[in-house]
Structure 1
């Protein structure tokens, strides 16, 4: 008969996600995880696998949290165009308010682990989720007459995905205020 876990695996995963998000994959050691989670190595390995497996599970959790947020912000009732505008402004404001300069875990993963196949699959899935959510809101906006017939929802969604990820990267720099001040509104002008 196996021993019962004396900790909450979901809480531990969220805590690991925060540590990886703040420090990055390479800079986080197994000892950092042991200290931060307050768990023994055996508990971490037994529940999550090694550091890489734990990292990928943390990225999965982050991606699921992001998906829930996107559905809430973009698929709800009301103006699809306003929902898109609000999301872009939310990303801009979030980048400027990020006191720890930690950015987006998905974007950080893309930059730090471009050759890791598992990480790349998760990043691609996250980008596709964002694109799909944006495109759905833009299609709805066009159907409601908020977005002109000359505006292609698919192309705009891909542009906005790229813009939002760029906002996350620039948001990690000391000069973010200078670059992000008018970028959001200039980008949103393309929706007019």
Structure 2
């Protein structure tokens, strides 16, 4: 009879996500992971197969939890422009409240691994597409409600807002306060 697992793999994925998010894929060593999770390297490889497989699981966990928070905010009922403002301001607050200023795990992964790691690129592309789709759906709802000019291209506006979100997540890593990011929010919403 084998020994029972002494760690919860789902908790381990959450812990690994934190390490990868802070340090990036390349800078994270297997030793960093075992130190954070509190298991031996053999157990790490037995449970997850490789550092890369664990990274993919961590990125999927981010997708399933953190990345959909914006989508959820955008899908709430009510007037669209206040929802868009609330979603963008929530990102500013979340990023600036993080003492490590690690930014967005998906954006960080895109800048580090896009074009180099096909699976990571695919996961990030899907996250961005889902966010852009939620932005487009909100904009189209605003057009139907008369809040946003119906002659404007909702797809183009959604792409612009996605680029704004990505840029804000990067800017927040070095921002000395909310003023600059709030100006971005105000400017982005003013063109709708």
Fold-level match, TM-score > 0.5?
A: yes
Q: Indicate if the aligned counterparts of 1:98 and 1:171 stay in contact, CA closer than 8 A.
A: no
**Do 1:170 and 1:176's aligned partners in 2 also have CA atoms closer than 8 Å?**
no
TM-score (norm 1): 0.90
Conservation of the 8 A alpha-carbon contact between 2:144 and 2:150: no
Match of 1:59 in 2: 59
1:62-141 correspondence runs (5 A): 62-114=62-114, 115-141=116-142
Q: In the alignment, what sits opposite 1:166?
A: 167
* C-alpha contact 2:132 2:159 (8 A) present in aligned 1: yes
SS of the aligned residue for 1:66 comes to: coil
Tell me the TM-score normalized by structure 2. Answer: 0.90
The alignment partner of 2:191 has SS state of helix
**Contact between 2:89 and 2:182, CA under 8 Å: does it hold in 1?**
no
Q: How many residues align?
A: 191
User: Would the aligned equivalents of 1:127 and 1:161 in 2 still touch at CA under 8 Å?
Assistant: yes
Task: Work out whether residues 92 and 180 of structure 1, in 8 Å CA contact, stay in contact via their aligned partners in 2.
Answer: yes
Residue number in structure 2 paired with 1:29:
29
Secondary structure of 2:100 counterpart:
coil
Change (3 A) 1:17 1:110: same
Once the 2 structures are TM-superposed, how far is the Cα of residue 49 of structure 1 from its aligned partner? Answer: 1.6
Structure 1 residue 80 displacement after superposition: 2.6
Unaligned runs of 5+ in 1: none
Deviating above 4 A after TM superposition, structure 1's stretches of 4 or more consecutive aligned residues are 174-178
CA RMSD of aligned residues (A): 1.9
